[in-house]
Chain A
Amino acid sequence: MPDAPHPAEPARIPGAASAPEDPGTPDTAGTPHPAPTPDAPHATDAARERLARAQAGLLAALVAGAPVPAGFDGERLAVQSRALLAKRAGVVAKVAPELPRLLGTARYHEEFLAYATDRPMTAGYRHDALAFAAHVLDHADLSPRVRHALGTWHADRAAPVPPTRWQRLLRSLPPRTVRRIG
């Protein structure tokens, strides 16, 4: 929510003088209680933009196979990148323990690495588990038994929540009526 309105400066210090001119210099002189950075509502916007680009550059190198940004130690980034992958595989195995059980632990890790390298997580671990299962179903050479079990697992969890009464009513209407309502 980059455009969300910034709440007014907190009223933590009642009666504090209005913000000085320079929003970048914190006024901390001699106050026993923390003084607020005298920021105008969007004083940090420029810093946020620069920080956003820097952090996106680093994270893309760590999880999306992007080039190492200037000034970083590539070897260390590779260590961090592997650590993130291992943690992600571990957490997905925890939220969806059926996956390592169906594939076997070694095969699970091998397939997860193939799936997750260069493919960042975007919507949490449950979504990641589903996307991984779909990827395995599409790309891996599976025995018919494992393919069936994994396919069933995926279909059960990928199914949308049970339709509401309103959705059922819409579906029961002739297509043209639905289009007009939509």
Chain B
Amino acid sequence: MEPMERLGVGIGWRPEIADAIGDPAALPGLDWVEVVAENIHPDRLPEALLRLRERGTTVVPHGVALGLGGAERPDPARLRALAERAEALDAPLVSEHIAFVRAGGPGTGVAGMEAGHLLPVPRTGDALDVLCENVRIAQDALPVPLAVENIAALVNWPDEDMTEGAFLAELVERTGVRLLIDVANLHTNHVNRGEDPATALAELPLEALAYVHVAGGVERDGVWHDSHAHPVTRPVLDVLAELCARTTPPGVLLERDEDFPHPAELAAELDTIRATLRETAHHA
């Protein structure tokens, strides 16, 4: 596997915080951004994103609608759209999720439905075979490497054969895909499914790590909601520290999607992430 591109510490680009992201006084030391692929058009990129590109800031398109973990082969039009965005942004890689986002339709006995969100794939041999083939189809259609992300789950599939770490390790071995590890999602699966992040991290092929997501959420009635609308909490930073003790992530990205705080608060969260990286630096 080729060495990963070093990305550094970044933040999810959203129109609501575009001004702060474009202002080095507001969010100093920002190395890169990620943009939701479905929210931009390659011919009409937002001015603020173009200015970031002109300054040499790396922009990585992050897809949310492919549904690589779905039963269908990925839609060629969606793959083409993702490839066009990677090219328009001159991105070193693109990322998507290990999830299904739609189901039903011919042969299933129910009409086609969209989830409007990322839903977990059962960790079974069937789902892994399908996911591996879907990932390879996507890799063939994309001009740059693909990284896939572990999602936050509220529901458990019955009769799963594999742990999350083992499932991801097998996926990487069979496809060579890179991993985007969301430490907030590992925390979510700890609270909601009783899966220990340390176990997952120990099983993960960290040499495939492309970058890491960090995000805030909230616990309600014993269930963790990965809201991206709350501050990043200590347990999530602890999972980041645990990961950093095992490897040096090529990139770390803070995600905030709603209830945007004052930029100073985001800057402080980015500083906390940098401090976590420094303090728990992995020494090979």
Contacts and interface: CB of A to CB of B under 8 A. Distances in A.
B25 interface: no
Interface of B: 1, 70-73, 75-76, 100, 102-117, 119, 122, 125-127, 129-130, 132-133, 136-137, 139-140, 154-159, 172-176, 192, 223, 225, 258
A158 to B, nearest CB: 20
15 contacts: A2-B72, A2-B107, A36-B136, A47-B129, A52-B103, A55-B103, A56-B103, A59-B100, A59-B119, A71-B158, A73-B156, A84-B117, A120-B111, A122-B113, A125-B116
B116 A51 contact: no
Interface stretch (A62-70, A100-108, A138-146, A165-173): A62-70
- Which of A64, A77, A79 has most B Cβ within 10 Å? A79
DSSP class of B's interface residues: helix, strand, loop or mixed?
mixed
Given A2-B72, A59-B115, A77-B155, A48 B130 contact: yes
B175 A34 contact: yes
Interface stretch (A3-11, A14-22, A148-156, A174-182): A3-11
A119 to B, nearest CB: 10
A10 B140 contact: yes
B103 A59 contact: yes
The 9 closest A-B pairs by CB, nearest first: A71-B158, A34-B176, A52-B71, A56-B108, A120-B113, A47-B126, A55-B103, A51-B71, A59-B103
A24 interface: yes
Contacts of A80: 154-155
A37 B154 contact: no
Number of contact residues on A: which range applies?
35 or more
Given A1-B73, A48-B71, A63 B129 contact: no
Interface string A116-146: 0000111111000000000000000000000
B133 A39 contact: yes
B176 A58 contact: no
Contacts of B110: 56-57, 60, 64, 66
A87 B73 contact: no
A55 B71 contact: yes
Nearest to A63: B113
Contacts of A71: 157-159
Contacts of A54: 122, 157
